[in-house]
A = this chain, B = another copy of it.
Amino acid sequence: MRSLEVKNRWPLLVLLLPAMSLAFAYRSRTSVDDIKGLRLITAIKTPYLPDGRFDLEAYDSLIHMQIVNGAEGVVVGGTTGEGHLMSWDEHIMLIGHTVNCFGARIKVIGNTGSNSTREAIHATEQGFAIGMHGALHINPYYGKTSVQGMVSHFETVLSMGPTIIYNVPSRTGQDIPPVVVNRVSWNPNMAGVKECVGNDRVREYVEGGVTIWSGNDDQCHDARWDCGAVGVISVTSNLVPGLMHELMFEGKNPALNSKVMPLIEWLFGEPNPIGLNTALAQLGVIRPIFRLPYVPLPVEKRVEFTRIVEAIGREHFVGDRDVKVLEDDEFVLIGRY
């Protein structure tokens, strides 16, 4: 929106300085095409210690299980990973940790988006400086803005590195209309869109040449095989990475899709990641510790999960302990951390 630029004393140019120097970029730069080809990206869970800090031991184990089961990328600190419950320094540290320990084996996509443009700029700059391969950017949720505001928001960060735009109106209160995506798609860093609005929208984008990841596990099979989505950014793959890999890589498979559907429905009965947190704790791969405002599913749902695991087969789930029904008093809920 050129016309908004200030021509006199306070040029926009000064206030929005070139976001990042380029020297380190050529060393660590992931190409946009490397991101565009990823079929299975897991929105990874962040596990906690009893005092609320990150449980990096459990985290590293979760990532390791993703790698060996075929996930090609992780979103660090997404809504699933509860980035909105992290301080920014925790968040950036977790991105840096993931890059340092696993960056050679899996693509690390930092959820450095924010409803505050300032925070998005700062976090994205830091994330790329410490080696993340791509950024996930949400539109300004809660505060919301105009179409022009969305475009301006995304433009401040697109210069920094490969970027996936994330549209989830059921969380943000505001759809990113295709006009916004089209207006920023000229940018060479624009990798594509994680789209949750549905497969009609997926098809529309794909036909226009935009790379799409489904953001809905229950629709991702069809998105991939019927609508042209490149793959999925998945929650369910935290639990059954091998099955989700099969679903994305091995061709159309409605039988398998139907098999995992009860799990997906169970997972999203309450806002994500409530179900996921409960499930991973019951699988024994994380401690049963919740940062508020998340609380575990009630005991009936916890029992139901064990039946779902049995039906699908324990061997398809992460971890190697027996799945068990945790008691109420085994969970720890933390407000200060």
Where the two chains meet, the residues of A that have a C-beta atom closer than 8 Å to any C-beta of B are: 1, 3-10, 12, 14-17, 20-24, 27-28, 49-53, 55-61, 79, 82, 84-85, 88-89, 92-93, 96-97, 99-101, 103, 115-118, 121-122, 126, 129-131, 140-146, 148-150, 152-153, 156, 169-174, 270-271, 274, 291-298, 328-337
State whether B171 touches A171 (Cβ < 8 A). no
| Contact, CB under 8 Å: B332 / A6 | yes
**Chain B minimum-CB-distance residue to A127:** B93
Are A144 and B156 touching (Cβ within 8 A)?
Answer: no
The answer on a CB contact under 8 Å between A270 and B121 is: no
Inter-chain contacts of A294 with B (CB < 8 A): 143, 145, 149
| Among candidates B50, B118, B271, B291, residue contacting A291 with C-beta atoms closer than 8 Å | B118
Chain B residue nearest to A1 (CB atoms) is B295
**Copies of this chain:** 4
> What residues of chain B lie closer than 8 Å to A146, measured between beta carbons?
270-271, 274, 295, 297
Decide if B21 touches A93 in the complex (CB within 8 Å). no
Which residues from chain B contact A3 at a C-beta distance below 8 Å? 328-329
Chain B positions within 8 Å of A7 at CB level: 329
Pick the contact of A84: B10, B143, B148 (CB < 8 A). B143
Q: How far is the CB of A136 from chain B (nearest CB, A)?
A: 14
Known A130-B96, A293-B117; judge A4-B329 contact (CB<8 A): yes
A20's partner among B27, B56, B100, B336 (CB-CB below 8 A) is: B56
Q: Residue on B with the closest CB to A128?
A: B97
- Return A58 CB to nearest CB of chain B, in Å: 8
Q: How far is the CA of A59 from the CA of B170 in the complex (A)?
A: 34
**Residues on B with beta carbons closer than 8 Å to the beta carbon of A336:** 15-17, 51, 118, 121-122
- A116 touching B23 in the complex, CB below 8 Å, given contacts A146-B274, A156-B292: no
The chain B residue with its CB closest to the CB of A150 is B293
Q: Which B residues are in CB contact (< 8 Å) with A59?
A: 23
CB-CB < 8 A to A20: which residues of B? 56
A142 touches B172 (CB 8 A): yes
The interface residues of chain B lying within 8 Å CB-to-CB of A24 are 56-57, 60, 97, 100-101
Please determine whether B148 and A292 come into contact, CB atoms closer than 8 angstroms: no
Minimum CB–CB distance for A245 against chain B, Å: 24
- A292 B152 Cβ-Cβ under 8 A: yes
Choose among B4, B92, B101, B142 the residue that contacts A328 (Cβ–Cβ < 8 A): B4
Residues of B within 8 Å of A333, CB to CB, are: 4, 12, 15, 152
Most B-side CB within 10 Å, residue of A4, A141, A170, A291: A4
A329:B156 contact, CB within 8 angstroms: no
Chain B residues within an 8 Å CB radius of A153: 292-293
Q: A93-B126, A96-B96 are in contact. List 15 more A-B contacts (CB 8 A).
A: A3-B329, A17-B336, A24-B101, A79-B143, A84-B115, A85-B118, A93-B130, A96-B131, A140-B293, A141-B171, A146-B295, A149-B274, A149-B293, A152-B295, A156-B335
